[in-house]
Amino acid sequence: MACKGRAQAGSAGGPLLSTLRDRRILLVIAGGIAAYKALDLIRRLKERGAAVRVVMTEAATRFVTPLAAQALSHDRVFTDLWERDAEHDVGHIRLAREADLIVVAPATADLMAKAAHGLADDLASAVLLATDRPVLLAPAMNPAMWASPATARNRRLLEADGLRFVGPDAGEMAERGEAGIGRMAEPLAIAAAVEAILSPAAGPLAGRRAIVTAGPTHEPIDPVRYIANRSSGRQGHAIAAALAQAGAEVVLVTGPVAIPPPAGVRVVPVETAREMLAAVEAALPADIAVMAAAVADWRAAAASGEKIKKDAGGPPSLALAENPDILQTVSRHPRRPAFVAGFAAETENLLANAGAKLARKGCDLIVANDVSPASGVMGGARNRVHLVTRDGVEDWPEMTKEAVAQALVERIAAALAGKTGALA
């Protein structure tokens, strides 16, 4: 047994962790099969020195027992809004205020809906309504439920209220044959997100605000068809994660992707270029903007309200309209960030096109990469980029997208620190 204030080692012979030492976490466990992972999350948080108190919904007790959560947390488990026989008066107000952070894992569609609309008919939802502390949600539900318009609306409302999210991940579901985005993030990922909120690293970008765009945009032609591209969003998500690790407060505006969002980042999901621009402008002011999204250049001038049917007259005529230029708008904005980076995804004349884009857009740096099919960049895990500035071009070797992100963030931090030649 570790001494009070010390955490047990995370692995045999490993170092003692204390990143959350003396921090108080209120863990809300909602009713879903992923509730069993919450027991491991308790252990992971306590390994890091946190004191963990648990609230369980009635549905959660059908998947894991309060006794199991109590044995792991070493504290009483609370389940009833009306219970008054505690050793001391710990009502929902006190539970809501005594924690440094509230973590909801799993966060079911039902509990998200209650929190989004201010309902408080059980202990868990009452705590979420009454708290003035940070809240981290780890959603877990069937992919169809996660993708539903209602859940998407509720997520946007919760994000607008300042609640943060980690996950969900993609993978197999408990239901036979079901797969997609909806799995609860793994306990280690949730613990890392908790650390990012409560024990942020004093990195080179501490105190800075950053906006990152990522992924494709989907421009509707009719209710079932759209104009898009092959972007996976991996590079933009990696950049958002690297900025957060460097201490920045990050807003990630992402088009439709099939990868989980990075921990410690506020995610704003969008569909179209116009929605992406609106979300970026809403996130201003910021110190840093990295526009890594592969935004569709055009959209249907008039999207059909019904599915366009085949007929004997051949394919329909599709009139196109130009989408807003997000990079140029941000680069010339009255609230322009101190550092603006864009991406040039080209299949030919890479450096010439990137240089022209730098001059035309008015940004500080262009990250140029070859996205021709032979490169494997779009949808792949690796990238080979060239940094184009007014001082010249720097060629980087092929590396993982995560390594590209780390190196790029180092350059941005150096530029903001005013180091001579940081981007030359």
| 198 annotated ligand binder | no
At 385, list the tokens: 């980029």
At 287, list the tokens: 């110190």
Amino acid at 375: S
Q: How far is CA 415 from CA 296, 338, 406, 420, in A?
A: 30, 10, 14, 8
| 419 annotated ligand binder | no
At 204, list the tokens: 């080179």
**DSSP string across 121-181:** SSHHHHHHHH--S-EEEEE---HHHHHSHHHHHHHHHHHHTT-EE--PEEEE-SSTT-EEE
| 357 annotated ligand binder | yes
DSSP state of 372: S
Catalytically active residues, by annotation: 229
| 260 annotated ligand binder | no
Contacts of 205 (CB under 8 A, 6+ apart): 243, 246, 247, 248, 287, 288, 409, 412, 413, 416
For 68, list phi and psi in degrees, rounded to 5. -65, -45
At 118, list the tokens: 């201010």
| 325 annotated ligand binder | yes
Q: How far is CA 345 from CA 205, 293, 360, 369, 394, in A?
A: 27, 10, 15, 5, 16
| 361 annotated ligand binder | yes
Contacts of 281 (CB under 8 A, 6+ apart): 329, 333
| 285 annotated ligand binder | no
| 37 annotated ligand binder | no
**Phi-psi region at 185: left, alpha or beta (left = phi > 0; alpha = psi -120 to 50):** beta
| 40 annotated ligand binder | no
Summarize the annotated binding site for CTP as residue ranges.
297, 307, 324-327, 343, 357, 361
Summarize the annotated binding site as residue ranges.
297, 307, 324-327, 343, 357, 361
